[in-house]
Amino acid sequence: MTQAQVGKAINVPQRTYAYYESGQRMVPPYVLCALADFYQVSVDYILGRTDKKEMNR
């Protein structure tokens, strides 16, 4: 997927999402949650704290 597509899906502009990907900006918690929901993984997986993709709900 493109940055524009992911940004649209999580409701952030493409440029902002590009800054997150490049490490130029910190990803706020609400965006981490939106990404986890979008990719259907846990926030811990996105942060590299676990290898388990599944979410605990």
Domain spans of the chain, in order of start: 3-46
- What is the maximal distance between C-alpha atoms in the chain? 32
Determine the pLDDT at residue 53.
83
- 29 CB contacts (<8 Å, ≥6 apart)? none
Its CATH architecture, for the domain 3-46, is Orthogonal Bundle (1.10)
Determine the pLDDT at residue 54.
78
Determine the pLDDT at residue 57.
58
Determine the pLDDT at residue 56.
65
Please list the ranges in the chain whose pLDDT falls under 70.
Answer: 55-57
Contact (Cβ atoms closer than 8 angstroms) between residue 49 and residue 30: no
